[in-house]
Amino acid sequence: MMLQGLFRGEWPRTILFDLDGTLVDSAPDLAASVDQMLRALGRPAAGEESVRQWVGNGAAILVRRALAGRVDYDNGPVLEETDFRQALDLFYTAYADRNGRHSSVYPGVIPFLQAALDHGCRLGVVTNKPGAFTGHLLELMELDHWFEIAVSGDTLPVRKPDPAPLHHAIEFLGGETTTTLMVGDSATDVQAAGFAGVAVVAVRYGYNYGGPVDDLGADIVVDSLTELL
């Protein structure tokens, strides 16, 4: 299905993008930071392949998954809050130094952003990444000028899959749910779009906790955003 098929032959008026795994491959820096944290705690490194399956719900959940060594971190030994806070502080310190160092913009992103602007779309980012890292990463990747708003995981009291961050961005951009598209890479993004009442495109190249993106129920699933042009 072509993108216009979701909007009665037109382009959406508002497009919201997830960041990690959708616009930017940030896993190398996230993995290096997680491994630095784990080594500081006397634990073995997790490695990039594992970390790619843990990204998507914000830094706190990433750290909890890393400490548990799996996505379903709740199914394991109870983690003391003081231990978690120590680990989270170690991760923040490590990632503040590494954020964007070895990250890269995915192929197809820039052509799609340009086409969207050419069609009069207003663009925003809605991510679960902490605000302290979101703006800096967008700047380092030279993506910040494309977007009018970036809603981070701590901008509001809730984060994706809660629909509030999407609604916040839509309101800021003067959009409507019926003419808004969400672009993401994970179940969190597809669920958030569903709760918000907006159409959603999912990309296969990102991070979806190791599961198949095609089974998430997105309106369109692509290997590259250029497929939508």
Decide if pLDDT at 78 tops 90. Answer: no
Q: Using one digit for the tens of pLDDT, what is the confidence trace for 44-71?
A: 999 999 999 999 888 999 999 999 999 8
- 18 included as an active-site residue: yes
Do 117 and 48 share a structural domain?
Answer: no
Q: What is the pLDDT of residue 96?
A: 96
Q: Which of 18, 25, 185, 219 is catalytic?
A: 18
CATH, residue 73: 1.10.150.240
Boundaries of domain holding 64:
27-98
Do 214 and 162 share a structural domain?
Answer: yes
Do 85 and 41 share a structural domain?
Answer: yes
Q: Using one digit for the tens of pLDDT, what is the confidence trace for 185-207?
A: 999 999 999 999 999 999 999 99
Average pLDDT over residues 34-44: 96
Do 171 and 80 share a structural domain?
Answer: no
Do 223 and 129 share a structural domain?
Answer: yes
Instruction: Point out the domain boundary residue: 73, 98, 123.
Output: 98
Total domains present in the chain? 2
Q: What is the pLDDT of residue 38?
A: 97
Q: What is the pLDDT of residue 58?
A: 87
Do 74 and 108 share a structural domain?
Answer: no
- Over the chain, what is the mean pLDDT? 95
Q: Using one digit for the tens of pLDDT, what is the confidence trace for 9-23?
A: 999 999 999 999 999
Q: What is the pTM of this model?
A: 0.94
What is the full DSSP assignment across the chain?
A: --GGGGTTTS--SEEEE-SBTTTEE-HHHHHHHHHHHHHHTT-----HHHHHTT-SS-HHHHHHHHHHTSS-TTSSSPPPHHHHHHHHHHHHHHHHHHTTSS-EEPTTHHHHHHHHHHTT-EEEEE-SS-HHHHHHHHHHTT-GGG-SEEE-TTTSS--TTSSHHHHHHHHHTT--GGGEEEEESSHHHHHHHHHHT-EEEEETTS--TTS-GGGS--SEEESSGGGG-
Q: What is the pLDDT of residue 77?
A: 67
